Amino acid sequence: MSGLFLYPALLACLAAGALWLGFLLAQREWLCRAGVWVMGLSLVLLTLELAAVLFRAGRLPGANLGEALLLFAWALVAAFLFFYWRYPIKVLGALAAPLAAVAVSGSLILPSQTGTASPLLESFWLSIHIVLAVLGNAALTLAGLGSILYLIQERQLKGKRFGFFYHRLPSLEQLDALNYRCLTLGFPLLTGGIISGSLYAQYTLGRLWSWDPKEVLTLAAWLVYAVLLHERLAVGWRGRRAALLTLSGLVLLVVTFIGAHLWAAGYHSFSSFAQP
Amino acid sequence: MNLVLVGVNHKTAAVDLREKLVSLFPEPQAVYRRFLEAPEVQEAVYYLTCNRVEVLVATESPEPAVSCCQAWFAAHPEVPPERLRESLYVRRDREAVRHLFRVAASLDALVVGEPQILGQVKEAYRQAARCRATGPILNRLLHKTFSVAKRVRRETGIGDHAVSVSYAAVMLGRKIFGDLAGKTALLVGAGEMAELAVEHLKGQGVARLIVANRTLERAVTLARRFGGEAVSLEELEAQLLAPDIIISSTGAGDYLLTAEQVRAAMRRRKHRPLFLIDIAVPRDLDPRINDLDNVFLYNIDDLKEVVEQNRERRRAEAARAEGLVAEETAKFIDWLQTLAVYPTIISLREKAGRICEAELKKTWPHLGPLTPEQEQSLKILTQSVTQKLLHDPIIFLKRNHRRKRPHQELDLVRRLFNLDPDRQDEPGRQG
């Protein structure tokens, strides 16, 4: 039963990725429009899959890395479509759609839950924590992808090499604005995720903060983004430096997301969620 | 109906020959009047640009029309006939249409993709229309030409890539700022290239222009000309806060701005991006400025390099444009061929109308008194019988014009319905 909608969702993500890569190569407007529709379809399918898990298990998916990837893919696609609607940067799809496809295939490949999940995961507040954190991660991932595009385009303009990307990527101003917007959305979400998690920890474990590896790494990433946001607003940092900081924050987030799974020690580790 | 195009362009004739041929077309009114006096010319349009002299004629008898045009070009006393013969080209029907499309889409130009040519052809067409030298064929062809040129511009990148240094600078600015509307430009010194760049920048919506010059008086003069504000060169460093784009062209010998100065200014600017264009030789701006974050410095060689790359790109896009032109040419030729069937369709309808009238006239006396409504419905009855009967032959004509032997079929229909009763080879002989 598990993964009824996962394969169609994977296909939709792959198709959207192919359409956008086609758009990047051939610069045909219809490819881009089709990419948006297929991406929308994959959002519907991922939502159905989430609903199926919710219905079957009575809790949000997130008990193992596979489920967390599913949640992340959903958030990434949703965030992408949101930003595309407000601030369309077409070529971003060529990075976001394949990444969503990787996340969905990760969730297909990784072993699904053995045994029942800890009853802690059924809490409403924990769901809030997970949803905020994942949405924040998705928005900040988009900021990172936008930063990659920025760095490519900046390199072309600085180096005076006007190759393949120069003509296909949008202007530096637009890419920098994307970075800023994703940051101003992603940072509060991440902050909310950390706060709601701490409050929940206080409520269940009796302490706000446990210095668990996932917490420490997330805090480090949070600090990077906080510095970036502050400097952007106060001193006007932007461009290359902002892009590099965004990317280093993203690296920390990725290490947190994947690495915390491998570090069995912390209570955030997925393995600790399963009960024998 | 046939189309004939006769002319010379920059590839076939040197500039001295082109100049002489241009003088053969002194005044549009007189030229078109003389053209239309020739019985073989039904419609005509000619256009003169710095690179071409071409006449396009719609005619029922192509061979005399070609001779007429050739005679026109041969009229210049100083042009030796053999030289003209080498230079003059003649294009007919499909080739003529394709040629016109390629000219208007700037595929046949000296600098492929330059947009001015379309405007020149449009103006020439307007003149021809004013002199009533164009008719249904050329009107349609020229309008089609303009839409093809637009389509080529829209669907291929042929005009996207700037091939002049000043425009290349503006396009680079757009890749940095996205939109130039509302930006501020600072012009240091003046010169032809800088002025062109200012024109382009204004065209892109740059809101504010500051002009700096060694002497304030000169700056004021320049500022008045461009509609900007004047500052003296000593204030340059202090002026670094406002502008987004700086175009420098003094060639003073030592650097007007060093990397340190710009670095300090960037902090005060809150790192708003700055685009500097140094078109002076020797250079005005310290090349190390380009190493600063959010600052982009281009010198004249960089811009020339951009232009060279863009020329390459245009050549590649031109190949795609040729495909579009071929497609549109085929469509137009199809339309031109359907024209051939219309006289036959009209004769068919007229003949049917005549028969209806004649038969009704014979019938009225036998019917006795009729109300106007009855008369009317009787008329409608006869008309609809003939219309229904003619419907299929007409559809046949319209659909079959693209067959290999359209003339034979047209001929068959005309004979079948005896549309040319005076013809010598009468059906009576055959059956």
Mean pLDDT value across residues B310-325: 86
3-state percent breakdown (helix, strand, coil) of chain B, nearest 5 = 60, 15, 30
Which of A160, A239, A241 has the CB atom closest to B302's CB atom?
A: A160
The structural domains of chain B, with segments of one domain joined by +, span: 2-155, 165-307, 340-430
Copy the structure tokens of residue B28. Answer: 């549009």
| Average pLDDT score over residue span A115-123 | 63
Is some CB atom of chain A closer than 8 A to the CB atom of B175?
A: yes
Pairing label, strands B89-92, B2-9: antiparallel
Q: Does B407 or B211 have the greater pLDDT score?
A: B211
Give the pLDDT score at A186: 94
- Segment A18-34 shows an average pLDDT of 89
Q: What are the structure tokens assigned to B304, written together? A: 């020339």
Q: Average pLDDT, stretch B62-76?
A: 89
Q: Which whole number is the average pLDDT over B50-75?
A: 89
Q: By the CB < 8 Å criterion, does B296 face chain A?
A: yes
This complex has an ipTM of 0.84
Contact yes or no for B360/B379 (Cβ under 8 A): yes
Chain B residues whose beta carbon lies within 8 Å of the beta carbon of residue A239? 271, 273, 293-294
Looking at residue B166, its pLDDT comes to 78
The pLDDT tens digits of the residues spanning B271-316 come to 899 999 988 878 888 889 999 999 999 988 888 888 888 888 888 8
> What average pLDDT does the structure give for chain A?
85
Is A239 close to B271, i.e. CB distance below 8 A? Answer: yes
**The pLDDT value given to residue A201:** 83
Cβ distance B290 to A162 less than 8 Å, yes or no, reads no
The 10 Å Cβ neighbour count of residue B293 is 17
Task: Express the helix, strand and coil content of chain A in percent, nearest 5 each.
Answer: 80, 0, 20
Q: CA B393, CA B401: separation in Å to the nearest integer?
A: 12
* Site from B170, B175, B296, B300 to mutate, A interface, most A CB atoms within 10 angstroms: B175
State whether B293 and A153 contact (CB < 8 Å): no
CB contact set of B229 (below 8 Å; sequence gap of 6+) = B208, B209, B210, B211, B223
At B76-121, the pLDDT tens digits run 888 888 888 888 999 998 999 999 999 998 888 877 777 778 888 9
Lowest mean pLDDT among B105-109, B159-163, B251-255, B352-356: B159-163
Does B179 lie at the interface with A, CB-CB under 8 angstroms?
A: yes
What is the structure's pLDDT at B273? 92
Between these two residues, A142 and A106, which has the higher pLDDT value? A142
Instruction: Report the residue of A25, A164, A171 to disrupt the B interface, i.e. the one with the largest count of B CBs within 10 Å.
Output: A171
Q: Give mean pLDDT, residues B54-70.
A: 90
Q: Is the pLDDT of residue A116 over 70?
A: no
Q: Are B148 and B330 in contact (CB under 8 A)?
A: no
Give the distance from residue A276's alpha carbon to the nearest chain B alpha carbon, in angstroms.
55
Q: What is the mean pLDDT of residues A179-186?
A: 93
Binary contact (B298, A160; C-beta < 8 A): yes
Q: Evaluate if residue B404 carries a pLDDT over 90.
A: no
Contact A239 B273 (CB under 8 A): yes
- Chain A nearest C-alpha distance from B190 (Å): 25
Give the confidence band of A16 by pLDDT, cuts at 50, 70, 90.
very high
Which of A29, A89, A154, A160 is the best substitution to test chain B (most B C-beta atoms within 10 A)? A160
> HSE on the CB side for A42, CA within 13 Å?
34
Smallest Cα–Cα separation from A185: which of A60, A89, A46, A87?
A87
Token pair for A197: 């998690």
Residues of B with a catalytic annotation lie at: 50
Q: What are phi and psi of B295, to 5 degrees?
A: -120, 135
Q: Which residues of B touch A158 (CB under 8 A)?
A: 290, 296
For residue B309 the two structure tokens come to 């790359």
Distances (CA, A) of A150 to A179, A248, B20: 9, 14, 56
Element of type H or E holding B213: strand B208-213
* Residue in A153, A162, A239 closest to B294 by CB: A239
Domain boundaries, chain A: 1-113, 115-276
Average pLDDT, chain B: 86
User: What is the CATH T-level fold of the domain B165-307, as seen in this structure?
Assistant: Rossmann fold (3.40.50)
Contact B175 A158 (CB under 8 A): no
Using a CB-CB distance cutoff of 8 angstroms, which residues of chain A are in contact with residue B176? 157, 171-173
State how far residue A188 is from chain B, nearest Cα, in angstroms.
Answer: 24
Residues from chain A contacting residue B160 (CB–CB below 8 Å)? 167
Residues in B closer than 8 angstroms to A29, CB to CB, are: none
Which B residues in the span 202-261 are in contact with A, Cβ-Cβ below 8 Å? none
How far is Cα B330 from Cα B423, in angstroms, rounded to an integer? 34
Any bridge partners for residue B101, and if so which? Answer: none
pLDDT digits (tens, 9 = 90+) for A191-242: 999 998 888 888 887 787 777 778 888 899 999 999 999 999 988 888 889 9
What kind of architecture, by CATH, is found in domain B2-155?
2-Layer Sandwich (3.30)
Q: Is there a contact between A59 and A122 (Cβ–Cβ < 8 Å)? A: yes
User: Tokens standing for B51?
Assistant: 């690179």
Instruction: Please give the radius of gyration of chain B, using alpha carbons only, rounded to the nearest integer.
Output: 33
